[in-house]
Structure 1
Amino acid sequence: MRELFSEVLALQLEYSSENTPAMARRGDLIRNIIPTEMRDWAAAAPGALLPFRGRLNVQGRDGTGLKTFVPWVRIHSPELSPSAQSGWYVVYLFREDGSGVTLGISHGSTRFDGGDFKPRSATEAASLMRWGRGLLGDEASLLGFNEGVDLGSAQKLSRAYEATTAFSKLYPTNDLPSDETLQRDAENAVGLLGQIYRAIELGRSPEADPPEIAEAREAITTIARPKSPSARLSGQGFGLTAAQKQAVEARAMAMAYSWLQANGFDNIKDVHQTHSCDYLARRDNVEHCIEVKGTTAALGKVLLTANEVELHRKSYPHNVLIVVHDINLLDLRTIADGGVVTAFEQWSVAEAQLVPLSYSCILSILE
């Protein structure tokens, strides 16, 4: 791999936007030869991402049509980063001037607006980087990664790459490490990426839905559009397992029960198997419907069924929505711990922002 990287960097000095012989060779290295060899690395094996359970792919690009100044090869989850414009990934960015290649932990730097790829806003990029660095900072530093990246280029896309790279490590052309060091560093980078992916699974990144909402979206897509790419990718080993979901639910129910006891409710009955709510409880001799939602994500969104929404409409104001959020998963991620209780007493559905995930459409049939 060291020799392949060295050849790409030498070809950078012969850069042309046209498909010259030098650029054709660079393209073959970036799109085919390097990814093929890298797929045999331990860093590209699914186990490298633990505790995230998803699979990995290796992809390289040097420009579609016109050749790019900064070619790249990335290791990524096909589910969480289906394209280089979206999601987090580990990436090798070859400097425009051929002076080195950086190993980075980056996020998609652009958005497609229907006609062209546009850099993400500074605010959006800063939010993503602040979150990623906060999650990985100490460990990344111990592994020899530095915050940000300098690609030595004034090109627009190069600046976009710089704005959306959380950590990087530079390999100068005149001091490229051995294959063993390259592979070890890649394993370390992918291990950090696995932590990011797991946090996304748990709904703890700025752009991630809570896992229960993400799973609902995927299930709906699988049923409604079974031939779509996202439907084909569902069920590939990411998301919470059945055991983890049960642990989160049990933790939420236990903490909600304690909250009800501490807040003057008695005659508390667990009715989640027979009713559209989870508890029936009395306070001041008035029965209340209690809905409990548990999530590993922060407080923000919860998933409600149509029956649950209707029940809250009917039972208002004698209803309570209890959200137990920021639940942690310990050991083999099957034991739930922690969590914060936020209770919404006399919760009004009319004042909530309900966002449909799908519709049932009744067609008007002309006779």
Structure 2
Amino acid sequence: MPVPFQPVSGLLCYCRPGFEPDLAAELAERAAGVHVAGYPQTNRNDGYVLFHSDNGPSLTHELPFRELVFARQKLMLLAELRELDPKDRIAPIFAALAGRGRHGELLVEHPDSDDGKQLAGLARSFGNALRPALRKRGFLSQKDDPRFPRLHVFFVSGTHAFLAQSTVGDSAPWPLGIPRLRVHADAPSRSALKLEEAFLVLLTERERKARLQPGMRAADLGAAPGGWTWVLTRQHMRVVAVDNGPLQAALHDTGLVDHQREDGFRWKPDGTLDWMVCDMVEQPRRVAERMATWFREGWCRNAIFNLKLPMKKRWQETLLALDLFAEQAGAHDTLTIRARQLYHDREEITVYASIE
């Protein structure tokens, strides 16, 4: 009879399929930087990375989720369940959870990959069966309770799953780590979703309330056709849209947009703006240098910009670009930098920078 579960220690992190080597390289380098031994395990296009370490609690503490770039979600591993009996997948989970205390929420998930999406139905139906069973046994609070860690059951096949947990405040709050956003019918382009997601993922709720205020002044570099400008106007900001190309006509009707037909890499404002956003297609180091100039010269207080990455060694290029930006931006004591590959990103990462 097979062992129903095997305790495991380390991290389980979700990512965009195809970027597993980049997340694995990031986790390995960051773990080495905080002197926690471990090693990554993954396969390309799986949509997740396992990072094995004998000290999972220490590792999850030393690698805060907000500092990870290629991870959509960060979980601490509890157990691996193999050869699950489709007639009784719950008993092994009970056995694995014995002595681990109570959890405040249950998420039953699957990889965001072509193969993983076929497990969506199983995850949904199993979650509906497992949730009341866990509550009856005392493993799960009667109502969602953020005071306790979340429990994640992560199916990689119908007979193979991982148990893991996440801490509220040190993980993504959405299933699979993906905020559910929809394209608005009046948005000039789908790129609007990238900026909407960036505000949700890279800013805290308190920061959004304080830094996305009506009447603020912003610039959108490389604005055409106006997706990011549209998002800013929905925050009732006044926007200088900088691009030689045309904007969606409806943006002019808002009375909030000043279209400057100039090169976004050369244009500069007359004074300090509250926001600068940029989604131009250019070499990441060139973008990083220009964005650093904006902060060094005091042209903006907050910025969100994208860095387009090469096909190979993307973690290394990310480090180089972010280090270059930090080095040239100045204001080191007051400059906040956060970066993440968002769900709506492709071969790029999105960076938020702010001078407190």
Compute the TM-score of the two structures, normalised by the length of structure 1: 0.28
Higher RCO structure (Cα 8 Å, ≥6 apart): 2
Query: Counting helix residues as a fraction of each chain, which structure ranks higher?
Result: 1
Choose 1 or 2 for highest CA Rg: 1
